[in-house]
Homo-oligomer: A and B are copies of this chain.
Amino acid sequence: MSGGYGQPALPDKNRVAVLQNIAHKMRVHIVNMTDASGSGHPTSSSSAADILSCLFFHVMHYSVEEPRHGSSDRFVLSKGHACPVLYAAWCEAGLLSKEHILTLRKPDSLLEGHPTPRQNYIDVATGSLGQGLSIAAGMAYCGKYFDKASYRVFCIMGDGETAEGSVWEAAAFSSHYKLDNLVAIVDVNRLGQSEATALGHSVDVYKARYDAFGWNAIIVDGHDIMAVCKALLTAATTKDKPTALIAKTLKGKYFPGVEDLDNWHGKPLGKQSGPALEAVKALITDNGPHGLSPRPIKDDAPKITFPKVQLCEPPKHTMGEKIATRKTYGEALVKLGKNYSRIVALDGDTKNSTFAITYKNCCPERFVECFIAEQNMVGVGIGLGCRARNIVFVSAFAAFFTRAFDQIRMGAISQTEVNFVGSHAGCSIGEDGPSQMALEDFAMFRTIPGAVCFYPSDAVSAERAFELAANHRGVTFTRTSRPATAVVYENTETFEIGKSKVLRKSDGDKVTVVGAGVTLHEALAAHKTLQAEGINIRVVDAFCLKPVDKALMVECGKATGGRIVTVEDHYFEGGLGEGVAAAVAEDGGVKVHRLAVTGIPRSGPAALLMEDYGISANCIVKAVKKMLA
């Protein structure tokens, strides 16, 4: 039986011996690397060594010269702490020298304590557990449905990490979309960090769970080269289902005095190193070069380059026209998607609220329904974006991105370029109540290194925010609004990352009021009220909350008597107000009074809530007068 491209025939006896030798050589590397670094996870690495040998030297198609080739098989080490085994595999593949891998965890070495894509053979960072399978599922979705290519995706997970719910979100997603190009391998080595896992070596329970989640689950001895190869062959020939190998293994396999024992997690072998090296070296039957090369790539994935993506036509709105920016989201995606076919949108059963549905209706083949599983949705988005194969937009109620904060955080370490779009933010959503109100979304996204955060106030700026997002290489977050807001910009207005806009200005301005999104319109209303009373204020539309437009804030603050009022439909912490206050505090000389949501809002009409929780036009008027008093 041969699996064709997907999987070669079973290895013969000689090849099995070579694969076993490679695994043992990897074990030697693992002991040496972690001894040299004085920290790391040799035992978690050793349990997976035989599996990696089978994958890297019998099954996977890849190129040592071009590890991120668009058509090569993908490999995700979800149990990132076991990275010594990964570095050892690439050493045996010829990419890394034996000297180089001894720099593990050292300053200036790229061989970090957990994998990051600072190394050219790693697509995504891992180390926060339970995230790899979602990313792998995203890669597999891309391979099957967008690239329609031959490459396959392999994901190694620890047994402990399968306690993470995100794994089961990914499992459900992968079977729903029949990702038969995806193989998960659970390294069931029984032992967690601080004690045995809940399921120990109950491989039958793991199998039952994967079966119930729609997978082809196969129990295998993870140290038996032939058995692993056989199961991988079955995986390659199974149609319409992903395959899970439930690999029974031993932590610290082949290390005397360590193997299968507790209290050996995350530490070098120390005085057990000598016996371990001796034992493993004694098992190696041939110390010469192993002579195995990766299987060749079938180069059938399309070549992708990202152009500058422009809206197919400029905004066509009428000043004062009321449109919810969440509605604009769907329309902007359509206008971007018409110009570029690799724009992909994901949503988790909120598409009729976020208006991702507009894009689905236009380009159903480029929309991925992820159901109510935000962690997996973000992981799939990261996977779809890997190797720069898609421009990815992921939408949800902004509050529900908090569900995936860890995935987003890790996404930044993974150098992902996913664009997040959150609707239904703040108390201005009204009757649905606080569980649905994002009031901490900017605090969250602003922490993401390199992230750009937009909060457009009208349809014109919203269209341009999405255009900027599509072209930004890094994470972006755009908050859209549920209520319809008036168009305040001409269709010809241009926008930039990190630049805010002055919307009202006079020579006699006493205070600068900075709003964004719904609160900009409150600021404009306050301007009108105050003007009628003879008090001029400058009104700034923040538009971009990160990076903050420090120069403009300082300039406006100084021009208006050293007084700024910020107003945001967000909690006081980590949003517009703190961002502006911290920016101007660098220079000093400008007072900043912040208006933000106080306490936990309740259900009610939006206008009433904005008044009750302190961010209405009326509240701005009072704050301005108080500042001037």
Residues in A lying within 8 Å of B, measured CB to CB: 37, 39-40, 80, 105-109, 112-114, 116, 118, 125-130, 160-161, 163-169, 172, 176, 192-195, 197-198, 205, 208-209, 211-214, 347, 349-353, 357, 369, 371-376, 399-400, 402-403, 405-406, 409-410, 412-413, 431-436, 439-440, 443-444, 446-449, 546, 562, 571-574, 577-579, 581-582, 584-594, 599-600, 602-605, 608-609, 612
Given contacts A195-B369, A581-B582, A587-B591, contact A439 B433 (CB under 8 A): no
Chain B residues whose CB sits within 8 angstroms of the CB of A410 once the complex forms? 435
Apart from A205-B214, A402-B406, A573-B574, what are 8 other A-B pairs with CB-CB below 8 Å?
A: A105-B604, A109-B603, A116-B434, A130-B372, A165-B165, A192-B349, A443-B447, A581-B585
Given contacts A212-B205, A590-B585, contact A446 B573 (CB under 8 A): yes
Chain B residues whose CB sits within 8 angstroms of the CB of A409 once the complex forms? 399, 402, 440
Given contacts A128-B400, A176-B198, A447-B443, contact A433 B160 (CB under 8 A): no
Q: How far is the CA of A540 from the CA of B350 in the complex (A)?
A: 47
Given contacts A193-B352, A433-B116, A436-B114, contact A165 B167 (CB under 8 A): yes
Shortest Cβ distance from A563 into B: residue: B588
Shortest Cβ distance from A449 into B: residue: B600
Q: How far is the CA of A197 from the CA of B579 in the complex (A)?
A: 40
Shortest Cβ distance from A208 into B: residue: B212
A568 to chain B, nearest CB (A): 12
11 A-B residue pairs with Cβ-Cβ distance under 8 Å, sorted by A, are A107-B604, A114-B435, A163-B373, A192-B372, A194-B350, A194-B351, A403-B405, A413-B434, A413-B600, A444-B444, A449-B571
Chain B residues whose CB sits within 8 angstroms of the CB of A600 once the complex forms? 412-413, 449
Chain B residues whose CB sits within 8 angstroms of the CB of A434 once the complex forms? 112, 114, 116, 125, 127, 413
Q: How far is the CA of A352 from the CA of B194 in the complex (A)?
A: 6
Chain B residues whose CB sits within 8 angstroms of the CB of A130 once the complex forms? 372
Among B80, B176, B435, contact of A435 (Cβ-Cβ < 8 Å): B80
Closest 7 CB pairs of A and B: A165-B165, A127-B435, A574-B574, A588-B591, A440-B447, A107-B604, A581-B582
B39 near A431 with CB under 8 A, answer yes
Shortest Cβ distance from A592 into B: residue: B585
A166 to chain B, nearest CB (A): 5
Residue from A198, A351, A599 whose CB has the most chain B CB atoms within 10 Å: A198
B443 near A574 with CB under 8 A, answer yes
A448 to chain B, nearest CB (A): 8
Among B80, B126, B164, B351, contact of A165 (Cβ-Cβ < 8 Å): B164
Q: How far is the CA of A412 from the CA of B404 in the complex (A)?
A: 18
Given contacts A116-B434, A163-B372, contact A406 B403 (CB under 8 A): yes
Given contacts A212-B209, A406-B402, A600-B412, contact A193 B113 (CB under 8 A): no
A399 near B128 with CB under 8 A, answer yes
B579 near A126 with CB under 8 A, answer no
Among B112, B406, B436, B546, contact of A602 (Cβ-Cβ < 8 Å): B112
Q: How far is the CA of A584 from the CA of B176 in the complex (A)?
A: 53
B443 near A446 with CB under 8 A, answer yes
Given contacts A588-B562, A599-B449, contact A194 B349 (CB under 8 A): yes
Given contacts A166-B165, A212-B212, A582-B582, contact A193 B353 (CB under 8 A): yes
Chain B residues whose CB sits within 8 angstroms of the CB of A602 once the complex forms? 107, 112, 116, 118
Q: How far is the CA of A448 from the CA of B444 in the complex (A)?
A: 12
Given contacts A399-B409, A591-B588, contact A169 B176 (CB under 8 A): no
Chain B residues whose CB sits within 8 angstroms of the CB of A195 once the complex forms? 349, 369
